[in-house]
Amino acid sequence: MMAAEKTIFVVDDDPGILEVITIILSEKDYNVVSLSDGNKVFAEIKKQKPDLIFLDIWISGTDGRDITRKLKAEDSTKDIPIVIISALNETEKIAKEVGAEEFLEKPFEIDRLLQIVESRI
Amino acid sequence: MEKIYRAGLRLLDQLTTEETFERIVKEAIKLVSADYGSLTLMDNDEFKDVYSTLPLPVKRRKKGYTFKSFIEQKVIVLHNQEVKDHRDRYPEMAKIGIQSVILIPLSYRKKPIGVLVVNSRKKEHFSKRERDVLVLFGSLASLAIRKTQSYDETRKALETRDLFISMASHELRTPLTAISGYIQLLQSRHIERDDTESRWINHLAWETQRLTNLVKELLEVNRIKNGNFEYFWKEGSLKTILERALGNIQIRHPDREVLLEESLTDDQALVIGDFDKLLQVFNNLLENAADFSDSTKKIVVKLSDRRKTILIAVKDQGRGIQKKDLPHIFDRFYRGEDNSKEGIGIGLFLVKDIVTRHHGTVRVKSIDGKGTTVEVILPKANI
C-alpha cells in the first residue's frame, strides 16, 4: 500500500517540534495534519480519520491524556494508534495509564520515530 | 533528675511534628503531676497554641501573661488573685477548676520560640523545685521543637528541589527536542558530504547529544528518588546484555580493545531482570572504564559462573580510584576530587541502585595507578 494514503495527526504546541515531525513524515510521503491546538483533534477526526496520532501531553488549553482517554472511549476512534510524545519524566508510564499504544520521549531520534510509524501503520 | 532525663529521651523518639508537640505537653504535665497543659509557639508572626489538653480554646493575646513570658523570656507562676483575674476573663477556666498556672519560656540559641503552659487544679502548685524541673524540661523541649521544625523545613526544601529539577528538565527538553530535530534534518541532507558545514553540523549534533544526556541524567536521579523508576521484569541472558553493552562501547570508542571472556552456556547466564536497566549498568561501567584509562589499554569483561550467582567483572588498566574517593563512589552526585570528566556524578549511584533492585551486589577493587575492577554479582534465574 502506498504511504501517501496514510494520514498522521501531529499534535504539539511547540512550533519547532511540530514542524520537524511534519517534515520528517511528509518526506516519507505521509499525509500529515499538524495541529497546535489539542481541542481541534476531534473536529479534524470528523473530516478525516487518521491512521496514527502523535500527541503531546502538555498542550496549551488542553491535556493529551484527556484527549487519549476520550478517543479510546469512542468506538469510532478507539482503534487509532496513539503515540504519546512528551518531555515529562514519566512518558512511558503515562502512555500506559491512558491506554496509548506507544510513547516517544523528547528529545527523540528521527529513526525511532519512523520505526514507531512503520510498526503501527 | 532521672524523671526529666527519661521525659527528655521520650522527646527524641521518631515523631511527627504534631506528635512531638503532644508529647512535650503530656510529659510536662506528668513531670509535675499537674492537670492540663498547652504549647504556644510563634510561627510566622502568629502566636498560637499548637497543642493543648485544655477542654476549651484559649486565645493568646499580646497583652496576656503568656505573651509576656515569651517576650521577656521569664518564668511566670500565677496563683490566687492572678488566676482569679484570668478566670474572670475565661469563665470556662473556673468550671475546670484551675488554681495555679506556670509559664515556661522556650528558646533556641537565645531566640524565643514559644511558651510551655502547665495548669493545675491545686492551690499554690509549682514550688521552686517543680519550677526548676519544668525549666530544665523546657530546654529539652526547645531542642525537640527545633529538631522537628528543621526536619520539616529540610523535607520541604528537598521537595521544592525535586519539583524544580523535574520542571527544569521538562522546560529544557522541549527546546532541545526542536534543536535536535532540526539538526537531525540538516544531517540527513548533508549525508556523505565532507565539507565544513557538515563538520559543523556534526559538532552541533554531538554537543546537543551531550546536553540531552546531562538533562536525562538529572531526571534519572529524580526518578529513582521518587520511586518512579519502573522495572519490567523478565528472564534473559546476561550474555546478550553484555554483547549489546560491548557493541555500544565500540561505537563510542571504535579504537578501544574490549574483550569479553566467558565460558557460560546460555542456560547458565539466565537472570531475571529489566534488560534496559541492566544494559545501563554495563554501559555505565564500560564508559567509566574507557573514560578513566588510556585509550591504548584494553578493557576486559569477565563473566564467571558461581553456582547460584553470576559474577561479571569489568576490569580496566587505568589510573585507579584514590583511596579517599573509594568510600563515596556510589554516592549520588559524588565526583572524585580530580575528576575532570563531564557528568554530574550519578553513573555509579545508578549502577548500585539498579543492581540492588536485582538482589545483586556491586564491589570495587582499585589500586591507585594500576586500574580498577568493578564486580557485579547477580542471582541466577534458574535456581
pLDDT over threshold 50, residue B285: yes
ipTM given for this complex = 0.91
pLDDT over threshold 50, residue B201: yes
Task: Tell me if B184 and A14 make a contact (CB, 8 A cut-off).
Answer: no
Determine the pLDDT at residue B90: 67
Determine the pLDDT at residue B224: 64
Q: Which of A17, A88, A93 is nearest residue B177 as measured by Cβ atoms?
A: A17
User: What Rg, from alpha-carbon coordinates, does chain A have?
Assistant: 13
> Residues A105-116: what's their mean pLDDT?
93
pLDDT over threshold 80, residue B230: no
Q: How confident is the model at residue A113 (pLDDT cuts 50, 70, 90)?
A: very high
Question: What is the C-alpha to C-alpha distance for residues B105 and B75, in angstroms, rounded to an integer?
Answer: 6
pLDDT over threshold 80, residue B382: no
Is B176 in CB contact (< 8 Å) with chain A?
yes
- Compare B199 and B373 and report the one with higher pLDDT: B373
Is A89 in CB contact (< 8 Å) with chain B?
yes
Q: Quote the DSSP letter at residue B307.
A: T
Cβ-count burial of B250 within 10 angstroms (0-12 exposed, 13-18 middle, 19+ buried)? Answer: middle
Residue of A56, A97, A106 to mutate, testing the B interface (most B Cβ within 10 Å of its Cβ): A106
Nearest residue of B to residue A106, measured between CA atoms: B177
> Residues B57-84: what's their mean pLDDT?
83
Nearest residue of B to residue A56, measured between CA atoms: B174
Is B338 in CB contact (< 8 Å) with chain A?
no
Question: What is the C-alpha to C-alpha distance for residues B269 and B240, in angstroms, rounded to an integer?
Answer: 9
Structure confidence by residue, pLDDT tens digits, B120-133: 988 888 999 999 99
Structure confidence by residue, pLDDT tens digits, B1-20: 788 888 888 887 878 899 99
Q: Which of A14, A90, A109 is nearest residue B178 as measured by Cβ atoms?
A: A14
Question: What is the C-alpha to C-alpha distance for residues B9 and B3, in angstroms, rounded to an integer?
Answer: 10
What is the distance, to the nearest Å, from the Cα of residue B186 to the centroid of all Cα atoms in its chain?
Answer: 43
Task: Tell me if B170 and A21 make a contact (CB, 8 A cut-off).
Answer: no
Q: Which cell numbers hold the place of B250?
A: 565500540
Task: Tell me if A87 and B180 make a contact (CB, 8 A cut-off).
Answer: no
Q: How confident is the model at residue A18 (pLDDT cuts 50, 70, 90)?
A: very high
Average pLDDT of chain B to the nearest whole number: 86
> Residues B88-96: what's their mean pLDDT?
71
- Compare B261 and B168 and report the one with higher pLDDT: B261
Q: Which residues contact B2 (CB under 8 A, 6 or more apart)?
A: none
Task: Tell me if B173 and A87 make a contact (CB, 8 A cut-off).
Answer: yes
pLDDT over threshold 80, residue B236: yes
Task: Tell me if A16 and B176 make a contact (CB, 8 A cut-off).
Answer: no
| Residue-wise DSSP of chain A | --GGG-EEEEE-S-HHHHHHHHHHHHHTT-EEEEES-TTHHHHHHHH---SEEEEESEETTEEHHHHHHHHHHSTTTTTS-EEEEE-STTHHHHHHHHT-SEEEESS--HHHHHHHHHHH-
- The alpha helices in chain B, defined as continuous H runs, are 2-10, 17-31, 65-72, 80-89, 91-96, 128-189, 196-225, 238-252, 275-291, 347-357
Task: Tell me if B178 and A24 make a contact (CB, 8 A cut-off).
Answer: no
Give yes or no for a contact between A42 and A66, defined as CB atoms under 8 angstroms apart.
no
CA distance A15 to chain B (A): 8
Which of the residue ranges A42-51, B192-201, B224-233 would you say has the lowest mean pLDDT?
Answer: B224-233
Dihedral angle, C-alpha B312, B315, B321, B323, nearest 10 °: 60
pLDDT over threshold 80, residue B85: no
Determine the pLDDT at residue A1: 47
pTM of the full structure: 0.57
Structure confidence by residue, pLDDT tens digits, A20-36: 999 999 999 999 999 99
Task: Tell me if B181 and A92 make a contact (CB, 8 A cut-off).
Answer: no
> Residues B76-91: what's their mean pLDDT?
73
Structure confidence by residue, pLDDT tens digits, B171-184: 899 999 999 999 99
pLDDT over threshold 50, residue B196: yes
Specify the amino acid at residue B159. E
> Residues B99-106: what's their mean pLDDT?
93
Give percent above pLDDT 90 in chain B: 37
Determine the pLDDT at residue B143: 93
pLDDT over threshold 60, residue B342: no
Task: Tell me if B230 and A92 make a contact (CB, 8 A cut-off).
Answer: yes
Is A13 in CB contact (< 8 Å) with chain B?
no
Kindly give the pairing relationship between strand B46-52 and strand B36-43: antiparallel
pLDDT over threshold 80, residue A49: yes
Q: Which of A16, A24, A107 is nearest residue B212 as measured by Cβ atoms?
A: A107
Task: Tell me if A108 and B174 make a contact (CB, 8 A cut-off).
Answer: no
Task: Tell me if B173 and A24 make a contact (CB, 8 A cut-off).
Answer: no
Q: Which cell numbers hold the place of A12?
A: 504539539
Task: Tell me if B169 and A87 make a contact (CB, 8 A cut-off).
Answer: yes
Of the CA atoms within 13 Å of residue B18, those in its CB half-sphere come to: 0
Is A114 in CB contact (< 8 Å) with chain B?
no
Listed residue (B21, B33, B333) closest to B165, CA to CA: B333
Cα–Cα distance list, A65 to A12, A77, A92 (Å) = 13, 15, 12
Residue of B174, B180, B221, B226 to mutate, testing the A interface (most A Cβ within 10 Å of its Cβ): B174
